Structure 1
Amino acid sequence: MKTAQGADEARRERIVEGAVKVFLAYGFQRTTMDDIARAADLSRPALYLDFKNKGDIYRAIAARKFAESTLVLERALNGDGDIEARLMDGLEQSLFSMMRVFFEAPHGAEILDAKNSLAAVEMAEWRRRFIAVIATALAAEAAARSVDLEARGFTADTLAGLLLDGIEGMKARVEGPDEWAPAARRLVRLVGLALQP
């Protein structure tokens, strides 16, 4: 038997999952609360028990996707293989595969663009956590290789930040998902070179 809190969380999950589908299908602007309620198989009043508007739902989606992204990255970086392979695996699983879903959807670009206005706080927190996860892995790798990053003008944090800055810039420049991995691989190679003894 589900507890009230478990039932509330299950309902919120249905709402978020339903909203992702309708946002991608219709776009954020054209999606109504009725559309989201139908996709979640709920009444509109039941929807308002958890969320006051579709911007609130968007923020919940962003927070969930960002948290998943960070966990997936962390798992990949704690896996086996050299640091470059783990970084590429982590970027593919945590960032590129998620971005591909949006890139290929009819209204994916609109949904991604909305993050700056609707989920800026969640985006900033994700960026901070994403960089921290990469920096932890880079610091461990530098220590294992006895590499003094500061002597080379870096810290693990600045190197991780430069990597993410490069990836964000690359996404704006390249044509699409097929070009992400080769471009990111070059950035990851630069990080690997900074960690060479």
Structure 2
Amino acid sequence: MKDAAQSDPKRMAILKAAFEAFAAYGYRRTAMADIARAAGVSRPALYMHFTGKDDIFRALAQFYYDDAAAAVADALNRTGRPDHVLEAAFLAQSGQIGEALLNSPHGDELLDTGHAVGADIAEMGEARLAELYAAWLEREAMAERLRLPGPAPLIAHALVMALKGLKAPPHDGYIERVKMLARILGRGLAR
């Protein structure tokens, strides 16, 4: 699903510039003037696209979840061992934005801001990701490649929450922890 930001190159340039500014300076220290300058637009032009930093941050959150859902769906449509498929899906869910966020010195502030400013977007995005994982679990169980210890939606929700929990500090080794979670879960569910 392509939203307005993805179909408008100027909005995408603003979102890219905003993300880079937030990652470099943190949410609180980034001014709209910083974002406008980095995006190569005037402040009035910036306000033609977004009402303020919260609006930009919410658009970034929506972009992240839209991008993550598309990447996860693609990964889950591949064939292979469950641990390999889950690893691809988990890494796709994290994506470049997630990795950059966790590697930013302001990552914790940005995660907190996401909870404060975009909690509804995160909730809907995580629900959509859980639906993708549940559909995969059900499909693989029907094909007798997985053995489910409970309802697929409950397991899928646990997967999404486990991945969310891996974002807690310390951030060093995040990718390795994601891969380990995929191996544990994939091998534990495999027939």
The one of 173, 181, 188 equivalent to 1:178 is: 173
Q: Would you say 1:164 and 2:160 are equivalent positions? A: yes
Q: 1:42 to 1:118 in 2, by over 3 A?
A: same
Normalization by structure 1: what TM-score?
Answer: 0.84
- The aligned residue for residue 104 of structure 1 is 103
- 1:155 equivalenced with 2:151 (yes/no): yes
> Highest relative contact order (Cα 8 Å, sep 6+), 1 or 2?
2
Deviation sequence 1:71-121 (CA, Å, 0-9, x none): 111111111311221111111122165432112222222112111100011
Unmatched tracts of structure 2, length 5 or more: none
- Compared with structure 1, are the counterparts of its residues 103 and 186 closer, same or farther at alpha carbon in structure 2 (3 Å cutoff)? closer
Is contact 1:170–1:180 with CA below 8 Å preserved after alignment?
no
Matches within 5 A, 1:32-51: 32-51=31-50
CA 1:61–1:179 in 2, change beyond 3 Å: closer, same or farther?
Answer: closer
Report % sequence identity.
Answer: 29
Alignment gaps of 5+ in structure 1: none
1:70 touches 1:130 (CA, 8 Å); kept in 2?
yes
**Correspondence for 2:71:** 72
- How many residues are treated as equivalent by the alignment? 187
Quickly say closer, same or farther: Cα 1:146–1:64, change in 2 above 3 A: closer
1:157 to partner: Cα distance: 0.6
Q: Distance in 2 between matches of 1:144 and 1:51?
A: 47
Indicate how the Cα distance of structure 1 residues 177 and 66 shifts in structure 2: closer, same or farther if over 3 A, else same.
Answer: farther
TM-score using structure 2 length? 0.87
What residue identity is the alignment partner of 1:158? L
